[in-house]
Copies of this chain bind each other. A is one copy, B any other.
Amino acid sequence: MFYPKSVAIVGASSTQQERGWVARLITAGYKGRIYPINPRATEINGIKAYPTVRDIPEPVDYAIFNIPRRLAPQIMDDCVTRGVKFAHVYTAGFSETDEEGKELEAQLAERAKAGGVRILGPNCMGLYCPASGLTFNPDFPKESGNVTFISQSGAEATRFVFLGNDVGIRFSKVISYGNAIDLDAPEFLEYLADDDETKVIACYIEGVKEGRRYLDAIKKCLRTKPVIVLKAGLTESGAGAAASHTASLAGSKAIWDAFFKQTGAIPANVMEDVSDSILALLYMSRPKGRRVALVGRGGGIGVIASDICERAGLKVPPFRMETRKQLEKIIPEAGAGARNPVETTLGMGGAAEFYEKGLTIVDADPEIDLIITHLAVDVYGGQQPNLPEQVAKAADVLRENVKNLTKPIAVALYTGGHPETVGAVLEARERLLKAGIPVYPGVEAASKAVSKLIGYYETADRIRN
């Protein structure tokens, strides 16, 4: 399904060729054969078009349905005839809409099953697999990664590729499966458990049809790789919205609490939680424990950050005396600030200076399992003309010094709210992320992601041993 040798696009548009399905595959660099199907066109995007799937001169691996719903059963018959293996039914308006749609969906499923065609959808965006050139959005990155996202919502699938893109996450596969009348989450998970191209699995799910199979599939995956699950609709309000959205039965909170506890799947409430966890999984080694060294500006922010860490399930213990003595040498005015949290002196310059020697000192403390450093731009009011350079400098020094650390580190980079400087901060973030350093929008996001990372490994130990 992910590497089809040929793709038929049924309902290839002759009028909107620029961003249509044929154009998407071409843009994404799909290398197989494309067969546009359109009874009123001879070619589309420069590729010979056929009136029906039956007219294609060879068996076809993959067909995309972009046609009015009433035609779907008949097109499926054509697909059966032409030996199509997988049909991605992009078309919406089936069981999620009305009784007629429900009837059409049943016919579609029946004919596909009888004819041996597997269905993805209907009412879904389909597949994004940069390595093969399958995509549903021409603006998605062309580079492959090792994260696979399976999503019951097409909109979330799209949104997460872009959201992930912003923090340097690249995908092996993204699967939007919609109504899932045939291929469904459990089967994808069973496949992904053994997929060498997938190192991390993320799921957006509203409801599950085959509960036991889903549970077993998640467990199978978790024996070898992390799985993050955003279960939407866990509240009464959310369950109501899910019923409207995908006609899903959301299931009770108690059941899902047990699910997470039993499986060791990493829970997420919003898509940002998902990307935060992915960054930790990809860029941080396993912390030996929950004891954090906090490095950043002094004052109340250190106290607030300590509270945040402990609320997330971490600890900010005092350094041992040897560490404090060494820190006092490099931050002579620090006093209290040589304990933990460490107070770097003011500004980005103070942070950059500290990183040069301080990180190594903190890293060596046996009472510490990991480091979280926080950098805030908003303190300075955004009115300093050389702030962009200062931020870039701090990021560069950090990048350079992280290489020598023995313990994992996460960076909390507060972007601030100034139109004049926020661009520079985001660019610094990009440079850090490119260097494999996980960057979060604040200490809260960083500490939650780290705590979940540790929790994942703890459960994995229990399950695998």
Partner of A152, one of B204, B300, B337, B423: B300
CB distance from A323 to the nearest CB of B (A): 14
Residues of B within 8 A of A422 (CB): 415, 419, 422-423, 426
CB distance from A423 to the nearest CB of B (A): 4
Query: Counting CB contacts under 8 A, is A408 at the interface?
Result: no
A204–B307 alpha-carbon span in the complex (Å): 14
CB distance from A448 to the nearest CB of B (A): 13
Residues of B within 8 A of A308 (CB): 269-270
Contact B381 A162 (CB under 8 A): yes
Residues of B within 8 A of A303 (CB): 153, 206, 232-233, 238, 241-242, 245
Oligomeric state, in number of copies? 2
A310–B94 alpha-carbon span in the complex (Å): 30
Query: Counting CB contacts under 8 A, is A299 at the interface?
Result: yes
CB distance from A260 to the nearest CB of B (A): 15
Q: Which of A1-9, A163-171, A214-222 lies at the interface?
A: A163-171
Contact A162 B379 (CB under 8 A): yes
Q: Which of A10-18, A55-63, A194-202, A311-319 lies at the interface?
A: A311-319
CB distance from A421 to the nearest CB of B (A): 10
Contact B302 A241 (CB under 8 A): yes
Residues of B within 8 A of A382 (CB): 162, 166
Q: A220-256 interface mask toward B, CB cutoff 8 Å, 1 = contact, 0 = none?
A: 0000000000101111111011101100000000000
Residues of B within 8 A of A309 (CB): 237
Central interface residue in A234, A297, A310, A444, by most chain B CB within 10 Å: A310
Query: Counting CB contacts under 8 A, is A97 at the interface?
Result: yes
A159–B303 alpha-carbon span in the complex (Å): 14
Query: Counting CB contacts under 8 A, is A364 at the interface?
Result: no
A430–B422 alpha-carbon span in the complex (Å): 14
Contact A311 B235 (CB under 8 A): yes
Contact A206 B310 (CB under 8 A): no
A418–B422 alpha-carbon span in the complex (Å): 10
Contact A96 B336 (CB under 8 A): yes
Partner of A300, one of B245, B341, B415, B430: B245
Contact A306 B379 (CB under 8 A): no
Residues of B within 8 A of A235 (CB): 306-307, 310-311
Partner of A232, one of B230, B307, B383, B423: B307
CB distance from A233 to the nearest CB of B (A): 5
Q: A136-166 interface mask toward B, CB cutoff 8 Å, 1 = contact, 0 = none?
A: 0101100000000001111110110011011
* Chain A positions 279-319 with a Cβ under 8 Å from a chain B Cβ: 297-311, 314-318
Q: Given A166-B416, A167-B417, check contact A238 B300 (CB 8 Å).
A: no
CB distance from A262 to the nearest CB of B (A): 21
Measured CB to CB, the nearest residue on chain B to A206 is B303
Partner of A336, one of B244, B307, B337, B423: B244
A236–B292 alpha-carbon span in the complex (Å): 13
Partner of A379, one of B155, B340, B416: B155
Contact A306 B417 (CB under 8 A): no
| Sampled A-B contacts (8; CB under 8 Å) | A151-B300, A155-B298, A156-B299, A165-B381, A204-B300, A238-B310, A241-B316, A418-B426
List the 4 closest pairs (A to B, CB-CB), nearest first.
Answer: A155-B299, A153-B300, A166-B417, A238-B307
Interface residues of A (CB under 8 A from B): 96-97, 137, 139-140, 151-156, 158-159, 162-163, 165-167, 204, 206, 230, 232-238, 240-242, 244-245, 269-271, 297-311, 314-318, 335-337, 339-341, 376, 378-383, 415-420, 422-424, 426-427, 429-430, 442, 444
